[in-house]
Amino acid sequence: MKILYFDCFSGIAGDMVLGALIDAGLDVNVLIRDLKKLKIKGYEIRAAKVMRKALSGTKLDVVVKNEPRAHSHRSLVEILKLIDDSTLKSAVKESAKKIFNIIGKAESKIHGISDKKKLHLHELGDIDSIVDIVGVAIAIDALEIDEIYSSTVSFGRTILNTKGGVLPSPSPASLEILKGVPVKVSGIDSELVTPTGAGILRALSKGFGDMPQMKVSKIGYGAGTKELGEIPNMLRVMIGEGVEAYEKDKAFVIETNIDDMNPQNFEYLFEKLLKEGALDAFTTTVQMKKSRPAFKLTVLCDRSKLEKLCSIIFTETTSIGIRYYGVDRFKLKREMVKVNTRYGNIKVKLSRGPNDILTVSPEYDECVVLARKKGVPLKRVYEEARKAVGV
Protein backbone atom coordinates (compact mmCIF):
# COMPACT_ATOMS: atom_id res chain seq x y z
CA MET A 1 0.00 0.00 0.00
CA LYS A 2 1.45 3.36 -1.07
CA ILE A 3 1.09 6.07 1.58
CA LEU A 4 1.52 9.84 1.36
CA TYR A 5 2.13 11.81 4.56
CA PHE A 6 1.82 15.61 4.77
CA ASP A 7 4.17 17.13 7.35
CA CYS A 8 2.60 20.58 7.85
CA PHE A 9 5.24 22.08 10.14
CA SER A 10 4.74 25.53 8.58
CA GLY A 11 1.23 25.19 7.21
CA ILE A 12 -0.11 24.17 3.83
CA ALA A 13 -1.34 25.79 0.60
CA GLY A 14 -2.30 24.39 -2.79
CA ASP A 15 0.86 25.53 -4.58
CA MET A 16 2.99 24.10 -1.74
CA VAL A 17 1.33 20.70 -2.16
CA LEU A 18 2.02 20.62 -5.90
CA GLY A 19 5.57 21.86 -5.39
CA ALA A 20 6.25 19.16 -2.79
CA LEU A 21 4.81 16.40 -5.00
CA ILE A 22 6.94 17.54 -7.93
CA ASP A 23 9.94 17.64 -5.60
CA ALA A 24 9.10 14.06 -4.57
CA GLY A 25 9.12 12.80 -8.13
CA LEU A 26 5.93 13.86 -9.92
CA ASP A 27 6.71 14.52 -13.60
CA VAL A 28 5.72 18.16 -14.18
CA ASN A 29 5.07 17.35 -17.85
CA VAL A 30 2.41 14.82 -16.81
CA LEU A 31 0.80 17.52 -14.68
CA ILE A 32 0.82 20.03 -17.55
CA ARG A 33 -0.52 17.45 -20.02
CA ASP A 34 -3.46 16.40 -17.84
CA LEU A 35 -4.35 19.97 -16.85
CA LYS A 36 -4.95 20.68 -20.55
CA LYS A 37 -7.97 18.34 -20.27
CA LEU A 38 -9.55 21.09 -18.20
CA LYS A 39 -11.09 23.69 -20.48
CA ILE A 40 -9.08 26.61 -19.10
CA LYS A 41 -6.54 28.68 -20.98
CA GLY A 42 -4.41 31.72 -20.28
CA TYR A 43 -1.95 30.37 -17.71
CA GLU A 44 1.51 28.87 -17.52
CA ILE A 45 3.02 26.51 -14.94
CA ARG A 46 6.52 27.14 -13.70
CA ALA A 47 8.42 24.95 -11.24
CA ALA A 48 11.86 25.88 -9.96
CA LYS A 49 14.21 24.92 -7.15
CA VAL A 50 14.42 27.52 -4.36
CA MET A 51 15.84 27.85 -0.86
CA ARG A 52 13.83 28.60 2.24
CA LYS A 53 16.35 29.07 5.06
CA ALA A 54 18.49 25.92 5.03
CA LEU A 55 16.05 23.79 3.04
CA SER A 56 15.93 23.29 -0.72
CA GLY A 57 12.54 22.65 -2.29
CA THR A 58 10.36 23.26 -5.34
CA LYS A 59 8.36 26.43 -5.82
CA LEU A 60 5.40 26.05 -8.15
CA ASP A 61 3.77 29.10 -9.73
CA VAL A 62 0.67 29.34 -11.87
CA VAL A 63 1.26 32.43 -13.97
CA VAL A 64 -2.07 33.82 -15.20
CA LYS A 65 -2.16 35.85 -18.42
CA ASN A 66 -4.97 38.38 -18.30
CA GLU A 67 -7.94 36.26 -17.19
CA PRO A 68 -11.24 37.97 -18.09
CA ARG A 69 -12.77 39.65 -15.01
CA ALA A 70 -16.07 37.80 -15.60
CA HIS A 71 -14.32 34.49 -14.88
CA SER A 72 -12.38 35.60 -11.81
CA HIS A 73 -15.35 35.03 -9.46
CA ARG A 74 -16.70 31.69 -10.63
CA SER A 75 -19.49 30.14 -8.63
CA LEU A 76 -19.14 26.70 -7.09
CA VAL A 77 -21.62 25.33 -9.62
CA GLU A 78 -19.56 26.72 -12.51
CA ILE A 79 -16.36 25.19 -11.15
CA LEU A 80 -17.95 21.77 -10.66
CA LYS A 81 -19.36 21.88 -14.20
CA LEU A 82 -15.95 22.84 -15.53
CA ILE A 83 -14.51 19.71 -13.92
CA ASP A 84 -17.37 17.48 -15.10
CA ASP A 85 -17.04 18.74 -18.68
CA SER A 86 -13.33 17.92 -18.80
CA THR A 87 -11.78 14.69 -20.10
CA LEU A 88 -9.96 14.00 -16.84
CA LYS A 89 -10.10 10.53 -15.27
CA SER A 90 -13.18 9.84 -13.16
CA ALA A 91 -11.08 9.40 -10.01
CA VAL A 92 -9.39 12.76 -10.59
CA LYS A 93 -12.74 14.48 -11.14
CA GLU A 94 -14.18 13.01 -7.93
CA SER A 95 -11.17 14.05 -5.83
CA ALA A 96 -11.18 17.60 -7.20
CA LYS A 97 -14.94 18.00 -6.74
CA LYS A 98 -14.71 16.65 -3.19
CA ILE A 99 -12.15 19.32 -2.33
CA PHE A 100 -14.24 22.11 -3.87
CA ASN A 101 -17.44 20.91 -2.20
CA ILE A 102 -15.78 20.88 1.22
CA ILE A 103 -14.46 24.40 0.69
CA GLY A 104 -17.81 25.53 -0.69
CA LYS A 105 -19.69 24.13 2.31
CA ALA A 106 -17.41 26.06 4.68
CA GLU A 107 -17.69 29.28 2.67
CA SER A 108 -21.48 29.04 2.48
CA LYS A 109 -21.72 28.63 6.26
CA ILE A 110 -19.41 31.54 6.97
CA HIS A 111 -21.09 33.93 4.54
CA GLY A 112 -24.65 32.68 5.13
CA ILE A 113 -25.26 31.64 1.51
CA SER A 114 -27.24 28.44 0.92
CA ASP A 115 -27.66 28.68 -2.88
CA LYS A 116 -24.64 27.12 -4.65
CA LYS A 117 -25.32 29.21 -7.74
CA LYS A 118 -24.88 32.37 -5.67
CA LEU A 119 -21.81 31.08 -3.84
CA HIS A 120 -18.80 32.71 -5.49
CA LEU A 121 -15.47 31.47 -4.19
CA HIS A 122 -13.54 34.72 -4.78
CA GLU A 123 -9.82 33.74 -4.81
CA LEU A 124 -10.77 30.07 -5.15
CA GLY A 125 -12.56 30.85 -8.40
CA ASP A 126 -9.36 32.21 -9.92
CA ILE A 127 -7.42 30.15 -12.46
CA ASP A 128 -4.45 29.53 -10.13
CA SER A 129 -6.63 28.08 -7.37
CA ILE A 130 -8.52 25.84 -9.80
CA VAL A 131 -5.23 24.64 -11.28
CA ASP A 132 -3.84 23.99 -7.77
CA ILE A 133 -6.79 21.87 -6.66
CA VAL A 134 -7.28 19.94 -9.89
CA GLY A 135 -3.51 19.59 -10.17
CA VAL A 136 -3.31 17.96 -6.73
CA ALA A 137 -6.02 15.47 -7.75
CA ILE A 138 -4.03 14.69 -10.93
CA ALA A 139 -0.80 14.28 -8.93
CA ILE A 140 -2.32 11.88 -6.37
CA ASP A 141 -3.61 9.71 -9.20
CA ALA A 142 -0.36 9.87 -11.19
CA LEU A 143 1.72 8.89 -8.15
CA GLU A 144 -0.69 5.99 -7.46
CA ILE A 145 -1.22 6.98 -3.83
CA ASP A 146 -3.50 4.60 -1.91
CA GLU A 147 -3.83 6.41 1.43
CA ILE A 148 -3.06 9.92 2.68
CA TYR A 149 -2.36 11.07 6.24
CA SER A 150 -1.39 14.41 7.75
CA SER A 151 0.40 15.79 10.78
CA THR A 152 -1.17 18.25 13.19
CA VAL A 153 -1.77 21.45 11.21
CA SER A 154 0.06 24.63 12.23
CA PHE A 155 -1.78 27.97 11.75
CA GLY A 156 -0.27 31.46 11.78
CA ARG A 157 -1.78 34.60 13.36
CA THR A 158 -2.31 37.80 11.39
CA ILE A 159 -4.89 39.93 9.52
CA LEU A 160 -5.70 39.10 5.89
CA ASN A 161 -6.78 41.44 3.13
CA THR A 162 -8.92 39.30 0.80
CA LYS A 163 -11.36 39.91 -2.04
CA GLY A 164 -14.08 39.16 0.49
CA GLY A 165 -12.80 41.83 2.89
CA VAL A 166 -10.47 42.00 5.89
CA LEU A 167 -10.38 38.72 7.82
CA PRO A 168 -8.42 37.30 10.73
CA SER A 169 -5.95 34.46 10.30
CA PRO A 170 -6.48 31.61 10.93
CA SER A 171 -9.06 32.37 8.26
CA PRO A 172 -12.68 31.53 9.11
CA ALA A 173 -12.91 29.19 6.09
CA SER A 174 -9.74 27.26 6.97
CA LEU A 175 -10.83 26.86 10.58
CA GLU A 176 -14.31 25.72 9.57
CA ILE A 177 -12.88 23.17 7.13
CA LEU A 178 -10.50 21.74 9.74
CA LYS A 179 -13.01 21.71 12.59
CA GLY A 180 -12.40 18.55 14.60
CA VAL A 181 -8.85 18.12 13.28
CA PRO A 182 -5.77 18.48 15.56
CA VAL A 183 -4.45 22.03 14.97
CA LYS A 184 -2.23 24.54 16.72
CA VAL A 185 -1.81 28.30 16.37
CA SER A 186 1.74 29.66 16.32
CA GLY A 187 2.91 33.21 16.80
CA ILE A 188 4.05 33.52 13.19
CA ASP A 189 2.66 36.70 11.63
CA SER A 190 1.47 35.14 8.36
CA GLU A 191 -1.29 33.05 6.85
CA LEU A 192 0.11 29.52 7.00
CA VAL A 193 -3.02 27.54 6.07
CA THR A 194 -5.09 28.62 3.09
CA PRO A 195 -8.64 27.37 2.46
CA THR A 196 -7.24 25.48 -0.54
CA GLY A 197 -4.67 23.72 1.64
CA ALA A 198 -7.26 23.01 4.34
CA GLY A 199 -9.70 21.63 1.76
CA ILE A 200 -7.05 19.32 0.31
CA LEU A 201 -6.25 17.93 3.76
CA ARG A 202 -9.87 17.46 4.82
CA ALA A 203 -10.92 15.83 1.55
CA LEU A 204 -7.99 13.48 1.08
CA SER A 205 -6.49 12.69 4.49
CA LYS A 206 -7.57 9.50 6.21
CA GLY A 207 -6.17 10.59 9.56
CA PHE A 208 -4.27 13.34 11.39
CA GLY A 209 -1.42 13.05 13.88
CA ASP A 210 1.67 10.86 14.01
CA MET A 211 3.10 9.43 10.81
CA PRO A 212 1.84 5.90 10.13
CA GLN A 213 4.27 3.00 9.94
CA MET A 214 5.82 3.17 6.50
CA LYS A 215 9.08 2.64 4.62
CA VAL A 216 9.81 6.09 3.20
CA SER A 217 11.10 6.01 -0.37
CA LYS A 218 10.58 9.61 -1.50
CA ILE A 219 10.65 12.99 0.27
CA GLY A 220 9.65 16.31 -1.24
CA TYR A 221 9.58 19.94 -0.11
CA GLY A 222 7.13 22.48 -1.53
CA ALA A 223 8.01 26.12 -0.97
CA GLY A 224 5.63 28.88 0.01
CA THR A 225 6.01 32.41 -1.31
CA LYS A 226 7.00 34.31 1.84
CA GLU A 227 9.94 34.03 4.22
CA LEU A 228 8.78 33.20 7.75
CA GLY A 229 11.60 34.34 9.99
CA GLU A 230 13.42 31.37 11.49
CA ILE A 231 11.11 28.63 10.17
CA PRO A 232 11.52 27.45 6.55
CA ASN A 233 8.28 28.16 4.68
CA MET A 234 8.00 24.62 3.34
CA LEU A 235 5.54 21.76 3.22
CA ARG A 236 7.20 18.35 3.49
CA VAL A 237 5.69 15.22 1.97
CA MET A 238 6.84 11.65 2.51
CA ILE A 239 5.85 8.80 0.22
CA GLY A 240 6.44 5.14 0.89
CA GLU A 241 5.05 1.68 1.38
CA GLY A 242 2.94 1.08 4.45
CA VAL A 243 4.38 -1.38 6.95
CA GLU A 244 1.95 -4.13 7.75
CA ALA A 245 0.20 -3.23 11.01
CA TYR A 246 -1.54 -5.39 13.53
CA GLU A 247 -5.14 -6.32 12.92
CA LYS A 248 -7.52 -4.43 15.18
CA ASP A 249 -10.97 -5.20 16.50
CA LYS A 250 -13.26 -4.47 19.42
CA ALA A 251 -14.40 -6.92 22.07
CA PHE A 252 -16.14 -6.93 25.46
CA VAL A 253 -14.70 -8.09 28.77
CA ILE A 254 -17.06 -9.69 31.31
CA GLU A 255 -15.90 -9.93 34.93
CA THR A 256 -17.27 -11.14 38.22
CA ASN A 257 -15.76 -12.13 41.59
CA ILE A 258 -16.81 -15.51 43.02
CA ASP A 259 -15.93 -16.66 46.56
CA ASP A 260 -18.59 -19.27 47.38
CA MET A 261 -18.57 -21.80 44.53
CA ASN A 262 -16.89 -25.19 44.15
CA PRO A 263 -13.85 -24.56 41.88
CA GLN A 264 -14.49 -27.88 40.12
CA ASN A 265 -17.56 -26.31 38.50
CA PHE A 266 -15.43 -23.92 36.48
CA GLU A 267 -14.51 -26.65 33.99
CA TYR A 268 -18.17 -27.14 33.05
CA LEU A 269 -18.73 -23.37 33.01
CA PHE A 270 -15.81 -22.81 30.61
CA GLU A 271 -17.07 -25.56 28.32
CA LYS A 272 -20.50 -23.90 28.12
CA LEU A 273 -19.14 -20.38 27.63
CA LEU A 274 -16.79 -21.41 24.83
CA LYS A 275 -19.51 -23.45 23.14
CA GLU A 276 -21.78 -20.38 23.12
CA GLY A 277 -19.18 -18.15 21.47
CA ALA A 278 -16.84 -16.83 24.17
CA LEU A 279 -13.46 -15.87 22.70
CA ASP A 280 -11.68 -16.75 25.93
CA ALA A 281 -12.49 -17.57 29.56
CA PHE A 282 -10.23 -17.82 32.59
CA THR A 283 -10.00 -17.25 36.35
CA THR A 284 -7.55 -15.30 38.47
CA THR A 285 -7.11 -15.79 42.21
CA VAL A 286 -7.93 -12.63 44.16
CA GLN A 287 -8.36 -11.59 47.77
CA MET A 288 -11.63 -9.88 48.64
CA LYS A 289 -12.79 -7.87 51.64
CA LYS A 290 -12.24 -9.45 55.05
CA SER A 291 -9.33 -11.31 53.40
CA ARG A 292 -11.60 -13.87 51.77
CA PRO A 293 -9.89 -15.84 48.94
CA ALA A 294 -11.86 -15.81 45.70
CA PHE A 295 -11.71 -16.19 41.92
CA LYS A 296 -12.15 -13.41 39.40
CA LEU A 297 -13.88 -14.86 36.36
CA THR A 298 -12.97 -13.10 33.09
CA VAL A 299 -14.69 -13.77 29.75
CA LEU A 300 -13.86 -12.16 26.41
CA CYS A 301 -16.57 -11.98 23.74
CA ASP A 302 -18.11 -10.10 20.83
CA ARG A 303 -20.89 -7.58 21.53
CA SER A 304 -23.51 -9.91 20.05
CA LYS A 305 -22.71 -12.61 22.64
CA LEU A 306 -22.62 -10.35 25.71
CA GLU A 307 -26.10 -10.93 27.15
CA LYS A 308 -26.13 -14.67 26.35
CA LEU A 309 -22.83 -15.25 28.14
CA CYS A 310 -23.88 -13.14 31.13
CA SER A 311 -27.01 -15.28 31.39
CA ILE A 312 -24.88 -18.46 31.47
CA ILE A 313 -22.69 -16.99 34.22
CA PHE A 314 -25.72 -16.11 36.35
CA THR A 315 -27.18 -19.57 35.76
CA GLU A 316 -24.05 -21.66 36.32
CA THR A 317 -22.30 -19.71 39.11
CA THR A 318 -23.14 -18.07 42.43
CA SER A 319 -22.47 -14.60 41.05
CA ILE A 320 -25.12 -11.95 41.81
CA GLY A 321 -23.45 -9.12 39.83
CA ILE A 322 -21.46 -8.82 36.62
CA ARG A 323 -19.43 -5.93 35.22
CA TYR A 324 -18.54 -5.52 31.55
CA TYR A 325 -16.71 -3.02 29.37
CA GLY A 326 -15.51 -2.64 25.79
CA VAL A 327 -11.85 -2.99 24.82
CA ASP A 328 -9.76 -2.49 21.68
CA ARG A 329 -7.53 -5.36 20.60
CA PHE A 330 -4.44 -5.82 18.48
CA LYS A 331 -4.32 -9.24 16.83
CA LEU A 332 -1.96 -11.22 14.66
CA LYS A 333 -3.39 -12.55 11.42
CA ARG A 334 -4.23 -16.22 11.85
CA GLU A 335 -4.50 -19.18 9.55
CA MET A 336 -4.84 -22.93 10.09
CA VAL A 337 -2.68 -25.30 8.04
CA LYS A 338 -2.36 -29.08 8.05
CA VAL A 339 1.17 -30.51 8.07
CA ASN A 340 2.38 -34.04 7.45
CA THR A 341 4.78 -35.48 10.06
CA ARG A 342 6.23 -38.96 10.58
CA TYR A 343 3.63 -39.41 13.33
CA GLY A 344 0.69 -38.34 11.18
CA ASN A 345 -1.17 -35.23 10.00
CA ILE A 346 -1.49 -32.36 12.50
CA LYS A 347 -3.33 -29.04 12.30
CA VAL A 348 -1.14 -26.04 13.12
CA LYS A 349 -2.28 -22.47 13.81
CA LEU A 350 0.02 -19.83 12.29
CA SER A 351 -0.17 -16.26 13.57
CA ARG A 352 1.62 -13.54 11.61
CA GLY A 353 2.23 -9.85 12.16
CA PRO A 354 4.51 -6.93 11.25
CA ASN A 355 8.28 -7.04 11.68
CA ASP A 356 8.36 -10.79 10.86
CA ILE A 357 6.40 -11.81 13.96
CA LEU A 358 5.36 -15.46 13.65
CA THR A 359 3.92 -17.84 16.23
CA VAL A 360 3.34 -21.53 15.54
CA SER A 361 0.81 -23.46 17.64
CA PRO A 362 0.19 -27.14 16.87
CA GLU A 363 -3.29 -28.29 17.91
CA TYR A 364 -2.95 -29.80 21.38
CA ASP A 365 -5.67 -32.45 21.13
CA GLU A 366 -4.32 -33.86 17.85
CA CYS A 367 -0.77 -33.98 19.23
CA VAL A 368 -1.99 -35.84 22.34
CA VAL A 369 -3.80 -38.46 20.21
CA LEU A 370 -0.68 -39.09 18.09
CA ALA A 371 1.66 -39.16 21.12
CA ARG A 372 -0.48 -41.85 22.74
CA LYS A 373 -0.92 -43.80 19.52
CA LYS A 374 2.78 -43.82 18.65
CA GLY A 375 4.03 -44.12 22.24
CA VAL A 376 6.29 -41.05 22.00
CA PRO A 377 6.68 -37.96 24.19
CA LEU A 378 4.16 -35.20 23.50
CA LYS A 379 6.92 -32.60 23.13
CA ARG A 380 8.47 -34.65 20.30
CA VAL A 381 5.17 -34.55 18.36
CA TYR A 382 5.09 -30.78 18.91
CA GLU A 383 8.66 -30.42 17.61
CA GLU A 384 7.88 -32.46 14.50
CA ALA A 385 4.84 -30.30 13.75
CA ARG A 386 6.88 -27.12 14.06
CA LYS A 387 9.62 -28.55 11.81
CA ALA A 388 7.02 -29.47 9.19
CA VAL A 389 5.92 -25.82 9.09
CA GLY A 390 9.52 -24.81 8.43
CA VAL A 391 10.35 -22.84 11.60
State whether 190 and 280 are in the same domain: no
358 and 267, same structural domain?
no
Give kind and range of the element (H or E) at residue 269: helix 265-275
Same domain, 229 and 286: no
> What is the CATH classification number for the domain harbouring 350?
3.10.20.300
Burial of residue 221 (number of CB atoms within 10 Å: 0-12, 13-18, 19+): buried
Q: Does 348 lie in the same domain as 219?
A: no
Considering 220, 242, 264, which residue would you say is the last residue of a domain? 242
Final residue in a domain of this structure, among 242, 260, 276? 242
Q: Domain range for residue 256?
A: 247-331
Helix (H, G, I), strand (E, B) or coil at 389: helix
State whether 202 and 99 are in the same domain. Answer: yes
pLDDT per position in the chain (391 positions), as tens? Answer: 899 999 999 999 999 999 999 999 999 999 999 999 998 988 999 999 999 999 999 999 999 887 655 445 678 888 999 999 999 999 999 999 999 999 989 988 887 776 666 665 555 668 899 999 999 999 999 999 999 999 999 888 776 566 556 666 678 889 999 999 988 888 788 889 999 999 999 999 999 999 988 899 999 999 998 888 788 999 999 999 987 777 888 999 999 999 999 999 999 999 999 999 999 999 999 999 889 999 999 999 999 999 999 999 999 999 999 999 999 998 888 899 999 999 999 999 998 887 677 899 999 999 999 999 999 999 999 999 999 988 6
Residue 142 shares a structural domain with residue 153: yes
CA distance 368 to 386: 15
Residues 169, 223: one domain? Answer: yes
Question: For the domain that residue 264 is a member of, what is the CATH number?
Answer: 3.30.70.1380
53 in helix, strand or coil? coil
Task: List alpha helices for 86-194, DSSP H.
Answer: 90-111, 127-142, 172-177
The torsion angles phi and psi of 341, rounded to 5 degrees, stand at: -120, 170
Q: Which amino acid is at 70?
A: A
**Do 134 and 97 fall into the same domain?**
yes
Same-domain status, 258 and 370: no
Residues 70 and 196 in one domain: yes
Kindly report the pTM of this predicted structure: 0.65
Sheet with strand 344-352: strands edge to edge: 333-341, 344-352, 358-362
Phi/psi of residue 379, nearest 5 degrees = -65, -30
Single residue among 210, 242, 274 that ends a domain in this structure? 242
How many structural domains is the chain composed of? 3
Same domain, 213 and 341: no
Give the contacts of 133 (CB within 8 A, at least 6 positions apart).
14, 96, 99, 100, 124, 196, 199, 200
CA dihedral 156→177→144→356, nearest 10 degrees, is: 80
Please check whether residues 192 and 255 belong to one and the same domain: no
In the chain, how long is the greatest CA-to-CA distance? 93
